[in-house]
């Protein structure tokens, strides 16, 4: 634990990933956690969203979650933001004064908006996603490491392939959420994060973990020093953004 509280984090999404990340961040010496989500607690959330209880059905997640987190870490300043941050402008505005953004959302447009907001503001971003049995994680340092658009260009044109329609296993949400918190805590403490220029993929059933090396793409439509000419994103995209198979990095 840090001896003095410091670090301000914007956490977007208090679902399965966000609940796990918020719990893991509490008690770690963080100064301020701004949590953004417009949803209310539903019965189906309870098995994997540990911030909420049966008595809080219908309550705003940011309010119920803030109560739980304050109980875990009374010294942590929680700022509930009952809003659905879906645009670059909204995310950049909510990230004002923050040192880091954690994207724990459940849809592709918002993930790319978070990526673009991070690049626009220069604030580091920890990206996590999970669907059914598979999840992924990467940390983006604007202007230094590969961004989401370096890998995938843009969000898929068709809907589907999200945890909204495929579900997500509770242990997978917990692992990705806790790993996101670890990434964030490392950066706030001034240490290197483990998923800078690396994409971690987690297959929860097989137990397989892969660290895939990344690097910034010269033709990235967003962060390239030499922007591509106007036109559609050059990369094909998959329902759940997974990059082409490459030589895996070391596994634990
Ligand atoms: Zn990029």
What does the pLDDT read at residue 252? 37
- Residue 92 CA, ligand 1 centroid: distance in Å: 17
Strand partners for 33: 9, 78
Residue 128 contacts residue 202 (beta carbons within 8 Å): no
Which region, left, alpha or beta, applies to residue 70 given φ > 0 means left and ψ of -120 to 50 means alpha? Answer: alpha
What does the pLDDT read at residue 231? 47
* Percent of the chain with pLDDT strictly greater than 70: 85
Lay out the sheet containing 134-140: strands in order across. 77-81, 32-36, 8-12, 100-103, 125-131, 134-140, 198-203, 208-213
Query: Is residue 22 situated within a structural domain?
Result: yes
- Protein residues near ligand 1, an ion, with CB under 5 A: 147, 149-150, 220, 222-223
178 Cβ contact partners less than 8 Å away, ≥ 6 residues apart: 20, 21, 24
The residues carrying an active-site annotation are 163
- Residue 158 CA, ligand 1 centroid: distance in Å: 22
- Residue 31 CA, ligand 1 centroid: distance in Å: 30
DSSP the chain: --SS---EEEEE--SHHHHHHHHHHTTTT-SEEEEE---B--GGGTTT-TT--GGGTTSBHHHHHHHHHHHH-TTSEEEEE-----SHHHHHHHTTT-SEEEE--SSHHHHHHHHHHHHHHT--EEEEEEEBTEEEEEEE-TTTS--HHHHHSS--SS---SHHHH-B-HHHHHHHHHHHHHHHHHHHTTPPPTTBTEEEEEETTTTEEEEEE----TT-TTT-SSPPPSSS-SS---SS--PPP-------
Query: Is residue 207 situated within a structural domain?
Result: yes
Q: What is the CATH number of the domain that holds 79?
A: 3.40.50.720
pLDDT band at 30 (very low <50, low <70, confident <90, very high): very high
The pLDDT tens digits of the residues spanning 198-251 come to 999 999 999 999 999 999 998 898 998 765 555 444 444 344 555 444 444 443
The pLDDT tens digits of the residues spanning 105-139 come to 989 999 999 999 999 999 999 999 999 899 999 99
Domain, as residue range, for 25: 8-213
Query: Is residue 251 situated within a structural domain?
Result: no
What does the pLDDT read at residue 226? 65
- Residue 130 CA, ligand 1 centroid: distance in Å: 21
Of 47-51, 74-78, 153-157, where does the model show the most confidence? Answer: 74-78
What is the tally of structural domains in the chain? 1
- Residue 228 CA, ligand 1 centroid: distance in Å: 11
The pLDDT tens digits of the residues spanning 63-83 come to 999 999 999 999 999 999 999
Q: Above 70 in pLDDT, residue 58? A: yes
Tokens in use for 21?
């990340």
Query: Is residue 236 situated within a structural domain?
Result: no
What does the pLDDT read at residue 245? 46
Of 42-51, 116-125, 157-166, 167-176, where does the model show the most confidence? Answer: 116-125
What does the pLDDT read at residue 60? 98
- Residue 127 CA, ligand 1 centroid: distance in Å: 13
Query: Is residue 39 situated within a structural domain?
Result: yes
Query: Is residue 48 situated within a structural domain?
Result: yes
Residue 75 contacts residue 51 (beta carbons within 8 Å): no
Determine which of 49-58, 59-68, 102-111, 151-160 has the lowest per-residue pLDDT on average.
151-160
Query: Is residue 249 situated within a structural domain?
Result: no
Q: Above 90 in pLDDT, residue 189? A: yes
What does the pLDDT read at residue 164? 57
What does the pLDDT read at residue 59? 98
What does the pLDDT read at residue 23? 97
Query: Is residue 79 situated within a structural domain?
Result: yes
pLDDT band at 161 (very low <50, low <70, confident <90, very high): low
């Amino acid at each position: 634990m840090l001896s003095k509280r410091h670090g301000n984090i914007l956490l977007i999404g208090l679902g399965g990933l966000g609940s796990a990340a918020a719990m893991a961040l509490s008690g770690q010496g963080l100064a301020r956690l701004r949590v953004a989500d417009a949803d209310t607690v539903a019965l189906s959330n309870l098995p994997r969203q540990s911030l909420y209880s049966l008595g809080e059905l219908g309550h705003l997640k940011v309010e119920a979650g803030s109560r739980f987190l304050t109980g875990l870490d009374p010294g942590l300043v929680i700022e509930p933001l009952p809003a659905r941050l879906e645009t670059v402008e909204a995310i950049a505005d909510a990230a004002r004064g923050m040192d880091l953004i954690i994207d724990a959302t459940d849809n592709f447009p918002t993930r790319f908006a978070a990526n673009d907001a991070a690049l626009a503001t220069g604030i580091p971003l920890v990206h996590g996603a999970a669907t059914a049995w598979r999840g992924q994680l990467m940390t983006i340092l604007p202007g230094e490491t590969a961004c989401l658009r370096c890998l995938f260009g843009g969000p898929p044109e068709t809907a589907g392939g999200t945890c909204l329609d495929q579900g997500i296993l509770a242990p997978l949400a917990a692992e990705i959420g806790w790993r996101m918190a670890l990434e964030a805590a490392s950066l706030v403490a001034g240490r290197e994060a483990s998923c800078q220029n690396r994409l971690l993929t987690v297959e929860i059933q097989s137990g397989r973990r892969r660290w895939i090396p990344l690097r910034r793409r010269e033709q990235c439509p967003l962060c390239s020093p030499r922007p591509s000419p106007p036109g559609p994103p050059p990369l094909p995209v998959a329902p759940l953004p997974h990059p082409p198979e490459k030589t895996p990095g070391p596994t634990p």
